[in-house]
Structure 1
Amino acid sequence: MSAGAIRRAAVIGTGTIGAGWVSTLLARGVAVAAYDPAPDSAERLTAAVAGHWPTMRLLGAPAEPDLGLLRVLDDPAAAVRDAEFVQENGPEDESLKRELLAELDAAAPAGAIIASSSSGLLPSIVQAGCTHHPERVLVGHPFHPVHLIPLVEVVGGRSTSAACAARALAVYAWLGKRPIHVRHEVAGHVANRLQAALWREAYSLVERGTATVADIDAAIAHGPGLRWSVLGPFVNQHLSGGAGGLSHTLAHLGPPMVRWWADLGRPDLGPELSATLVDGVRAELGDRTDAELAAARDRLVVGLLIAKAAEGVLP
């Protein structure tokens, strides 16, 4: 059996993120005990899994989800009682998450990993109330849509043991994810900070009138975004340097890039700019619906993931 293999998991919070985790776990044949405080959580969850499954099937999942593996319980402590791995997906509220994780820590078996899907909270803060086994509490931050995007950021806090971080990385890899180990906790982790840097300058360029919302979307989607979907920023820079690789790129493009950094904007994301951005997206989309866009995005991402898996040379 693989080092990361699990048989029983708990998913706490089954909204958009949690439902993606449930679909991912069911696709690997893992028995899932789920909890969500919403009164219609069981119906919403089964509907979400059914909606995800055509995509899961394209990625190698069985023809139909085995809903016999899924139990929806009305108590979070009961949901984690027999779990080997717990994925918590509560609201991004520091005090609420700290209380919830403390409850899960008190109820879960001593050997179970407890991972929070928090998109930006520091694990040291949210694990602070865990008095039983804080060493097994960490952040396991996925990306939306969770059932489709492979990246998971594993971030340990001050109390997290190296062994538990390694176990979480192995479990996510076994689930078909592409986990990275964030070695020092920082607000927003890694990928959200990189996104935030891009969004900051994108907002600033709109605020300055340099480009429209549609222009900026086109600049990324039809330019560097195509390369970024295959290789990361460092390897792309390396390939841009020709025979000299990254060393050549840094020597020749580094100095002007440093000057650009000094000119990056600090947008005022108040009501006026927010309205401009929202209006710009509406104008860009026209009569396209969100459902149409999401479906097209997911079809293309599935095709890309399949193609990337066939290219053994990619890092």
Structure 2
Amino acid sequence: MAGNKPISQVTIIGTGVIGASWATLFLAKGLDVVATDIAPNAEASLRGFVDGAWPALERLGLTPGASKLRLVFTADLAEAVKGAHLVQENGPERIDFKKKLYGQLDEMLPPDVVIASSSSGLTMSEIQSGCPFHPERCVIAHPFNPPHLIPLVEIVGGAKTSEETIRRASEFYTALGKRTVRLHKEVPGHVANRLQAALAREVYHLVGEGVVSVADVDTALCWGPGLRWGIMGQVLLNHLGGGQGGMEHFLEQFTGPMTAWWKVLGSPELTPELQQKLIAGVHAEVGSRSIDDLAAERDEVLLGLLELRANTAGGGAHSE
């Protein structure tokens, strides 16, 4: 694969929430974007999303040349991938669908075009098995929702992914201002979703056991450790928690208590009763706020945090 071609035209396959968010980011970074989706009203939904998200990207700063007019939509897959330098695939999380799609893309695209999947659950080794010619150019580039705001991208190769593809993908997303993490092994759910799942398990356990209400467990997270996690990762926070002795002192002091807590963490079953308890609890917490209200609240605070981090020396470059 010739790896020196600059990536200036991206094809988006699948324009649901994740695909639309990716499209908005790519446009804001001055790229040409061709999007494709066979769903009814897909183009109107996509353009509506871009219009709605654009003010946030303007606030963060558009790249010179960025324009919503650089978005092209077509329902024809072959037409959509013509001239693409990278494909961002956001299709359904079904392995049969993805293997068939990647087989088609493998035939349509020149071998130097990177095919990146936003998949959160499937492995690239499974997906790229549908590519008979150039599986080495396929890679997972898993974002966090919404991708146009959350910087994280998890880069995961499959058994046949080349190091050059990993490098090109990492350089591409980093150049867009994303924070990439490289996974050296494939694991279900990648890294960030596994961390979320571990936390969700204990949250649901505590609610199910009647230890705390839904509203209070959310408060405990977002007004406690969640505030710190928006600045530094767990291990770096542990290093700070050790005072002047750093991580060495932290482990000396807290290994005993921490490992004792591990032994009593819950393993809840999401029974119909627990599900109803969670549903009722979150509706009580939400009150009259709509999903759109909540999303706007999240995005406004998130924008403030991103702006603050951008203005901090180093932008938190070593805190992930």
User: So what's the TM-score if we normalise by structure 2?
Assistant: 0.94
Q: 2:11–2:33: 8 Å Cα contact kept in structure 1?
A: yes
Corresponding residue for 2:195? 194
Matches within 5 A, 1:148-159: 148-159=149-160
Select between 264-273 and 153-162 the one with higher mean Cα deviation. Answer: 264-273
What is the CA-CA distance between 1:65 and the residue it aligns to? Answer: 6.0
Q: How many Å apart are 1:39 and its aligned residue? A: 2.5
* AA matched with 1:68: L
Looking at structure 1, the residues matched to 272 and 127 of structure 2 have their Cα atoms a distance apart, in angstroms, of 31
Deviation at 1:63, TM superposition (A): 10
Q: Is the 8 A contact 1:6 1:171 kept in 2?
A: yes
Contact 1:83-1:109 at 8 Å conserved across structures = no
- Per-residue CA deviations over 1:93-149 (Å, capped at 9, x if unaligned) read 121112112211221221111000001111101111111210010110001111110
Say whether the 8 Å CA contact 1:6–1:84 is kept in structure 2: yes
Distance in 2 (alpha carbons) for counterparts of 1:227 and 1:148: 19
Alignment check: 8 A CA contact 2:15 2:35 kept: yes
CA drift of 1:312 comes to 2.0
Q: How does 1:133-282 map to 2 (within 5 A)?
A: 133-282=134-283
| Identical-residue share of aligned pairs (%) | 47
Moved more, 57-66 or 8-17: 57-66
For structure 2, the 5+ residue unaligned runs are none
**Deviation per residue, 1:149-183 (Å, 9 max, x gap):** 00000100000001101100001011121111111
Deviation, 1:44, is 1.0
Aligned partner of 1:72: which letter?
A: F
Where do 1:296-315 residues align within 5 Å?
A: 296-313=297-314, 314=316, 315=318
**1:270 Cα deviation (Å)?**
2.0
Contact 1:200 1:267 in 2 (8 A): yes
C-alpha separation in 2, matches of 1:284 and 1:229: 22
Aligned amino acid, residue 122 of structure 2: L
Q: Name the CA distance, whole Å, in 2 between partners of 1:45 and 1:291.
A: 17
Q: How many correspondences in the alignment?
A: 313
Say whether residues 1:286 and 2:294 are aligned partners.
no
Report the CA distance shift for 1:303/1:63 in structure 2 as closer, same or farther (over 3 A).
Answer: farther
Residues of 2 paired with 1:87 and 1:159: CA distance? 18
- Letter of the 2:10 partner, please give it: A
Is 1:14–2:15 an aligned residue pair? yes
C-alpha contact 2:50 2:68 (8 A) present in aligned 1: no
Alpha-carbon distance between aligned partners in 2 of 1:275 and 1:57, rounded to the nearest angstrom:
41
Q: 1:26-37 maps to which residues of 2 (within 5 A)?
A: 26-37=27-38
Unaligned runs of 5+ in 1: none
